[in-house]
Amino acid sequence: MMEELRKNEQVEANIDGFSSDGGGVCHIGGRAVFVPRALPGERWRVRIVKANHTAVWGRGEELISPVPERVEPACPVFGRCGGCATMHMDHDCELRFKLGRLNDALQRIGGLSLRAESIEGADKLAGYRNKGIYNFASGPTAGFYRARSHDVITVSRCLLQPECFDRAAEALRLWMEEKQIPAYDEATGKGLVRHLYLRKSSSGFSACIVSAGTLPDGAAEALRRTCPELTGIMLCLNRNPENTVLTDDIRTLWGSDIVTEQLCGATFRLSPLTFFQINTAQAEKLYRIVGEFAEPAGKEVLDLYCGAGTIGLSVARSARKLIGSDIVPSAVENARFNALENGVENAEYLCGDAGQVSIKLVQRGEKPDVVLVDPPRKGLDEAVIGAICDMAPTRLVYVSCDPATLARDLRLLDGQGYLAIRCRAVDMFPRTRHVEAVALLEKVQA
């Protein structure tokens, strides 16, 4: 029988598992209690913060017995900034947490017997991000959102970003302060500067200021003075009250809006709106797994959600034909350029929503042998799943950044005759709770 737990009650408890966000879980009075930044095997004195009929949340008041996997977080705002979730554990512990999170989702949400075989750890745990988005608030201040909110936590040095990103954010903040340029206020819809979107590659470093309106002259010059390595500066006008960072209204203030990057022996051209994996070194490992699962030699391959074409082009040379699609016009333009730039002549790219493009391909009689999907965090919608099944590929390779939607979609695909037979994970986002996964599905023969 479960005991009633009251707010502010304090209990000693052993942490016996991970929560999905990297915290710990203990059991008190027959109820699971979530304790942020606690690790399995530890004993804590826990204060009950909130309890209702669905869940109980606690706060670790005293760590009575730590485990050897616990480390001192290197970031002074860890626990307040919503970016990192695993800085309090060593990397081996982080990998166990992420593999466990993925396998828990496959079993609990997907109802699958499939288990991820392994997880590819990262060689570099700091400064690995090739893209950063800094948020601005009144002050002005620059930083990142607190977990589950849009409160901006001021961050002067983010250990996950290259140092030049922090310099660029501070340069823009100082310029705003000097010129009395207000940050955008979500509550009132007033103000101007919302975000600074940064991208760094082996060839360049670009900055895109996201503003609710036009800015006075001088922002580009301020960024260039502090960051002479910049190769392009843009202004994105975003008057949308929703959470979307970039719109397609992007104007070049100076230099080029394009950077190029090397990946899997190919060169990729990237514009601001084009999706590209944020960890280039780990993306190499991810795409090797995709190639192993796809077995593309001599086959027709469909690459949905293709972005700059990276996944499809990594397997195109051995494939008979490659078809790629993306909803972002500039991404499709990048993909076409990247195919030509890398000498790939067997590729065709279509622009449109993945579901609509899939239906169009079915209507024109395309029968790809292999389909690659790398959807956004929300996963596949029913139209895409239906169209893929209508094309009846023998293999489907699903790349996912969200274990919950991956597990849900694998369950749905299983009901359409596609059995998930292999899964592997990649630590694409060290020091955060996120994990990338690749699943291989095969069509069940009637």
Residues marked as catalytic: 401
Tokens for 91? 């990397």
Handedness of CA 148, 152, 158, 163 (dihedral sign): positive
**Under the phi-then-psi rule, with left for phi > 0, alpha for psi from -120 to 50, and beta for the rest, what region is 202?**
alpha
- The 3-class secondary structure across the chain, one letter per residue, is CCCCCCCCCEEEEEEEEECCCCCEEEEECCEEEEECCCCCCCEEEEEEEEECCCCEEEEEEEEEECCCCECCCCCCCECCECCCCCCCECHHHHHHHHHHHHHHHHHHCCCCCCCCCCEECCCCCCCCCCEEEEEEECCCEEEEEECCCCCEEECCCCCCCCHHHHHHHHHHHHHHHHHCCCECECCCCECCEEEEEEEECCCCEEEEEEECCCCCCCHHHHHHHHCCCCCEEEEEECCCCCCCCCCCCEEEEEECCCEEEEECCEEEEECCCCCCCCCHHHHHHHHHHHHHHHCCCCCEEEEECCCCCHHHHHHHCCCCEEEEEECCHHHHHHHHHHHHHCCCCCEEEEECCHHHHHHHHHHCCCCCCEEEECCCCCCCCHHHHHHHHHHCCCEEEEEECCHHHHHHHHHHHHHCCEEEEEEEEECCCCCCCCCEEEEEEEECCC
- For residue 88, give the amino acid letter: H
Hunting for tokens 């040379």 — which residue is that?
Answer: 317
Query: If you count them, how many residues does the chain have?
Result: 446
- How many CB atoms neighbour CB 285 within 10 A? 19
Tokens for 128? 């690995």
Strands 31-35 and 56-65: parallel
- For residue 85, give the amino acid letter: A
